[in-house]
Amino acid sequence: MGIMALFSLPGTLTALGAILAIPVWRVVYNLYFHPLSHFPGSKLAACSRLWLAYRELVRGESLSDLRVELHRQYGEIIRLAPNELHFSNPAAYNDIYNHRNKWDKDHLLYRAFDLDMSTVGFIHYSDVKHRRDVLAPFFSRTSILQMQDLIMERVNVLCEALTHQFAAGDTKGKSSDLVLGFHCFSVDVIMAFCYAKDWNATRVPDFQSDIVLASQAVLPIITLRKYSGTLVKIMRRIPMWFGQNFGSPATRALFSLRKTFMDQIDEILRNPASLENTPHKIIYHSLLDPDANKGRPLPSRLSLRHEAAALLGAGSDSTSIASTTISYYVLHNPEVQRRLVNELRVTWPVLEEVPRYEVFEKLPYLTAVIKEGLRISPAITALPRVVPQEGATIDGTFIPGGTVVAQSFTYVHRSPIVYPDPDAFIPERWLGEDAKTHEASLSAFSKGPRSCIGINLAYCELYLVIASVFRRFDLTLDAERSGDMTITEHFVPVFKGPHLHAYCKPVSD
Ligand code: HEM
């Protein structure tokens, strides 16, 4: 007897109708009855998030390019998904990201990291406020100034590696992959600064560090997980032994990193006195300090693991992208490079006598180069926030409560109204009369209560590494091995073409 004989035709049709009715009603509701139904945008985008998933995952489009295309087609406020709006007028930025708005992060994006109990992953301001307060002294300017030698040691290792790589070539020298070099450097800094671990990614030949390659390889999976909470849950259940033994090289690297974090956390939880043996304060001194936690329960083992992974992720990709971008534009603008090197040589005349960070940060041209680099850097994705129940006015338009809203800082940084000639790399704009206004609009670290907690560390790294690389080496672009700065977006920007390569010839004086 065939299986169909078990079912009557009317019964089957009724069942099918019932199954289809819910999604069909959902689409009709989204198109005609949803509070956002009058906002412009693609009708398919309004129907379901599946359309966005199709564009990103199947067609492989970068969300940042797609947003630009949709704004061109539909105007300054677009409906990007049934419940999500995106804004292109730079005036909208301060309406969304400011200190008054304690708005939730959108869980559909942030769940993709599976780090729900970390500073990056907490959805509600009330949860993150406490964690940020606990970590604030650790990332304060005072703490960074005290720890700058530790960062400088990692700069020195990077410079040694660049020297060796150059020496490995023929008369012209061998060029170095600066994308990987800066990424290895920033991983080494976070591992040392936050966990007192000598990770030595920078010492791996040609910067082929497994953890750096893995963290770049894993980014498309974040994009995939944005669209499937189930996938996040399934991946969470992969046992450590399985990932470490049977995964791809990238998976294995990420699982061993997780094990490194877990082993350290377990050791500290088992024996809190072991914290007295670290060479300097690490994040667990703050996270497990009852006074800093002001009587609230201390973070759980899982929360500590989430925080460890979140800080490494947040603190390494971003800084290396900024360092790469700055170097790219300096190498493509010989006059900028000349002015920068001249300023560095005057302040740092004897190579062995390296100035302190406090000296570098006062250098006007170096500062202008770094600020201009942060301005022109490709952005982390448009950071989605949820409008509170009472609704809000953004860019002069009332937005109903519960709507997910976002704007990429690129729309501020590349606006000709805010920064004239925005696509050109012009450090001089930070030295003129408009410097203060430019400063107020600089949003690379985001604004408001969820802005970057690592800003002091980031600036210290950028000043030390850019000053050192451009002072200690005569840098020239390896045009044959380098691409341009086009990116695809996987939460953070990922450079699409060949990596930036430069010949780093050591200078003798
Ligand atoms: C040039 C370097 C950096 C840039 C451009 C940058 C940028 C940003 C941006 C735009 C955000 C907001 C993200 C969001 O809303 O989801 C953010 C958040 C964050 N950043 Fe950074 N960052 C940099 C370096 C660092 C460093 C070195 C650390 C230290 C570990 C760090 C730790 C964090 C953390 C923990 C958050 C989450 C804050 C929260 O959600 O409350 N960042 N960063």
The reply to whether ligand 1 has any atom less than 6 angstroms from the CB of 117 is: no
pLDDT of residue 195: 98
Local confidence pLDDT in tens for the 509 residues of the chain: 556 666 687 888 887 887 788 889 999 999 999 999 999 999 999 999 999 999 999 999 999 999 999 999 999 999 999 999 999 999 999 999 999 999 999 999 999 999 999 999 999 999 999 999 999 999 999 999 999 999 999 999 999 999 999 999 988 899 999 999 999 999 999 999 999 999 999 999 999 999 999 998 889 999 999 999 999 999 989 888 888 888 888 888 899 999 999 999 999 999 999 999 999 999 999 999 999 999 999 999 999 999 999 999 999 999 999 999 999 999 999 999 999 999 999 999 999 999 999 999 999 999 999 999 999 999 889 999 999 999 999 999 999 999 999 999 999 999 999 999 999 999 999 999 999 999 999 999 999 999 999 999 999 999 999 999 999 999 999 999 999 989 999 999 999 899 999 999 999 99
CA pseudo-torsion sign 438, 444, 448, 454: negative
Cβ 309 under 6 angstroms from ligand 1: no
Does the beta carbon of 453 lie inside 6 Å of ligand 1? yes
- To the question of pTM greater than 0.90 for the whole model, the response is yes
Q: In angstroms, how far apart are the furthest CA atoms of the chain?
A: 92
Determine the pLDDT at residue 226. Answer: 93
267 CA distance to ligand 1 middle (Å) = 28
Report the C-alpha gap between 317 and 315 in whole angstroms: 6
CB of residue 450 inside a 6 A radius of ligand 1: yes
Distance 287 CA to ligand 1 centre (A): 18
Structure tokens belonging to residue 25? 């009603």
- Nearest in space to 218 (alpha carbons), one of 246, 249, 192: 249
Please tell me if the CB atom of residue 315 comes closer than 6 angstroms to any atom of ligand 1.
yes
Our answer on whether the CB atom of 186 is closer than 6 Å to any ligand 1 atom is: no
Structure tokens at 52: 């966005």
Q: Which pairing describes strands 84-87 and 404-406: parallel, antiparallel, or unpaired?
A: parallel
Q: Which atom of ligand 1 is nearest to the CA of 312?
A: 30
- Give the closest residue (by CA) to ligand 1 atom 21: 452
ipTM: 0.99
Whole-angstrom distance, CA of residue 120 vs CA of residue 259: 20
- The verdict on the CB of residue 318 being under 6 Å from ligand 1 is yes
Determine the residue of 286, 287, 318 to mutate for testing ligand 1's pocket, defined as the one with the most ligand atoms within 8 A of the Cβ atom: 318
Ligand 1 center to 238 CA (angstroms): 28
